[in-house]
Structure 1
Amino acid sequence: MQNIEECRDKIFILLGKQLIRFQTVEMRLKSLLKLNRSISFEKNSAPLIIEPLVNNHTLGGLSSKALSSLFIRTQQDENSIANNVENSTRIDMRVEFNLCECSYQQLSSQLQEFVADRNFITHHFQEKFNLSVLDECHNAIDFLLLLEKKHKPFLDQFEQYCLTAQTGIDAQISYLKSNLFKTHFIFPVDEIYQEIKTQIENNHKNNGWVSLTTIAAIILKKFPDSNKKIKLEYGFKNLHDLVLNSGLFLLKFEPTLKGERILIKLNNEDVNFTVIEK
């Protein structure tokens, strides 16, 4: 039979492990919430990063915020992250988990119990268990072992959420390093794009649609090295490849006597990049 000192040592070990679990979930919730940020780029200014203010939140506050903005039952409004800033480019970084009602309620209940148990351990454990009495020490050990068993399903699921978030962030980072990103956010200020934009906006025929062949001829005449530049700086084979595959332009295929021709317009819609974890 264990003596009281051995029991206390075991209690302190179990308490230490439990407190580390509480702190780990708290730190990971902060990290996950701060991933939902907006980055605005304005000319001649440093990037402006807007992210949730969570550093001073308690575990309870973090849990409530996570249930309203991270673990959600319905799709959130994309404009809820930050207001549009005129004359700037904005990148919205989003990490969220769309849960069914049953999963959401289960997670909500698990988080509430987790927070309540954390508060009990922190503020009331020694009131509940008198560690100078052997039987009370045994009761404390049983309580802590039961607590560990109770929270294991939640902690395992939370670990999977973190791994999924990491996968999503890795994909977003990969996108930010890609030629497609450079095309979406750098090419629009390039002189080649600006000339295409001018040609399209000055066209008042055919409901604003312009032949890609016509545009290409104008660009190649004004910028003879345009295809070489597009390949080196943006990773597309040539101007045609960029227009057809970058998403910066709307496309329409119009039948002709010899086959068909491609008409283009500027795509003024927001460019969205979404990673769906199945």
Structure 2
Amino acid sequence: MDTPKNELFEHLQQKVFVCIARCLLNLQLYEQSLKKLIPSYEVMTYGPSHDEKVEALSGSTLGILIKHLTSTLLTTERIQQRNESQQEPPEPEKLSARTTFCVVYTDEDHQKLCSTLTDLVTKRNFLVHHFQTEFDLKSHNGCKTALSYLEDLNSLVKNQINELKVFADAMAAGSQKLAEFLNSPEAIRLIDEGLPPNSKAGWLLTLEVQALKEAETLLNENGWTNLSKAREYLHGKQISDDALSHLGVKSWPELLHATTLFRIEKRKNTVTNRWERWYSSNLTSA
């Protein structure tokens, strides 16, 4: 075993020890950030309190936290639908509210994300349990190899911390806008009298408009979405055509028009020779 005793080697060895400490501290910061963020993705007036959710996660390992993250905040349409089907209903005859914050990925992108985060967990466990048995920190080459590994790991952890910060900032901004709306005369009008929104901000908070925009994200063709296909998507989310009456409209085209959030046009289907409605939220498009 090569064990050089000189200042250059000692300096290199010291850099390894410092980098180990940085990795462990950043991993700890990442875990703390997850424990703070995950309980906040869902705001509701029933079910477990925020403090109870925080307590439930307090002893979770990084692997468990990652599973929570990728099934709640960073998710797919399929996982969202599963979560909704498993959601405990509120007490009947009581006013209740629930909202969630999340980023919806395609199945392929979500799988890549899960692979990256699983790799992070594996590397964290390796650092804690096997690092000294795999790297010879008493040799120059061993220290160089270890330092390269640690720098890559630290970069990965810092990137994930930054991703969480961006998401946390977006959640905070969204929560603030929601709070502002709920304290507005329009929200009081909507809750007390059951009247439809009279502003774009109000319409954007309705379940039906949010679902239309989700359908647009998934189904649009060059910025335009076939309304018939969007309705099939909405029905899959248990939003029926009959649910529109509480918004003061009788049809999806009427809703699209009432919100002033979408452009609508008719196109003739060259196969069926029937006219179809298409919509787009890109109000500036030609």
TM range (shorter): 0.5 to 0.7
Q: How many residues align?
A: 194
Distance 1:250 1:96, change over 3 A: closer
Aligned pairs (5 A) from 1:35-114: 35=40, 36-40=42-46, 49=49, 52=53, 53-74=56-77, 75-76=80-81, 78=84, 80-114=86-120
Give the match for residue 258 of structure 1: none
Aligned pairs (5 A) from 1:1-16: 2-16=7-21
- How far residue 94 of structure 1 moved from its aligned partner, in angstroms, is 0.7
Of 20, 26, 35, which residue of structure 2 is paired with 1:30?
35
- How far residue 154 of structure 1 moved from its aligned partner, in angstroms, is 4.8
Give the match for residue 19 of structure 1: 24
Distance 1:93 1:56, change over 3 A: farther
SS at match of 1:88: coil
State how far apart, in whole Å, the 2-side matches of 1:73 and 1:243 are. Answer: 30
- How far residue 78 of structure 1 moved from its aligned partner, in angstroms, is 4.2
Residues 141-184 of structure 1: CA distance to partner in whole angstroms, max 9, x if unpaired?
Answer: 12212333455665554443333333323322333433344445
State how far apart, in whole Å, the 2-side matches of 1:153 and 1:250 are. Answer: 43
SS at match of 2:88: coil
- How far residue 93 of structure 1 moved from its aligned partner, in angstroms, is 3.0
Aligned residue type for 1:139: T
Larger of the two Rg values belongs to structure: 1
Aligned residue type for 2:15: K
State how far apart, in whole Å, the 1-side matches of 2:161 and 2:49 are. Answer: 31
Give the match for residue 221 of structure 1: none
Give the match for residue 177 of structure 2: 171
The answer on whether the counterparts of 2:43 and 2:99 sit within 8 Å (CA) in structure 1 is yes
Aligned residue type for 1:251: G
- How far residue 80 of structure 1 moved from its aligned partner, in angstroms, is 4.0
The answer on whether the counterparts of 1:38 and 1:82 sit within 8 Å (CA) in structure 2 is no
State how far apart, in whole Å, the 1-side matches of 2:17 and 2:178 are. Answer: 42
State how far apart, in whole Å, the 2-side matches of 1:119 and 1:141 are. Answer: 17
Q: Identity percentage over the alignment?
A: 23
- RMSD of Structure 2 on Structure 1 (CA): 3.4
Residues 178-209 of structure 1: CA distance to partner in whole angstroms, max 9, x if unpaired?
Answer: 33444455x3xxxxx6xxx9xxxxxxxxxxxx
Aligned residue type for 1:148: N
State how far apart, in whole Å, the 1-side matches of 2:85 and 2:183 are. Answer: 24
TM-score calculated relative to the size of structure 1:
0.57
Residues 231-269 of structure 1: CA distance to partner in whole angstroms, max 9, x if unpaired?
Answer: xxxxxxxxxxx677489955379xxxxxxxxxxxxxxxx
State how far apart, in whole Å, the 2-side matches of 1:131 and 1:48 are. Answer: 48
Distance 1:80 1:183, change over 3 A: farther
Please state which structure has a larger fraction of its residues in strand.
1
Distance 1:243 1:104, change over 3 A: closer
The answer on whether the counterparts of 1:39 and 1:92 sit within 8 Å (CA) in structure 2 is yes
State how far apart, in whole Å, the 2-side matches of 1:152 and 1:140 are. Answer: 18
SS at match of 1:132: coil
Distance 1:6 1:38, change over 3 A: same
Please state which structure has a larger fraction of its residues in helix.
2
Gaps of 5+ in 2: 1-5, 204-244, 251-286
Aligned residue type for 1:18: C
Aligned residue type for 1:136: G
Do structure 1's residue 144 and structure 2's residue 150 form an aligned pair? Answer: yes
Residues 73-130 of structure 1: CA distance to partner in whole angstroms, max 9, x if unpaired?
Answer: 1143546443211232222131111111232112111100111111111111122223
Give the match for residue 43 of structure 1: none
TM-score calculated relative to the size of structure 2:
0.56
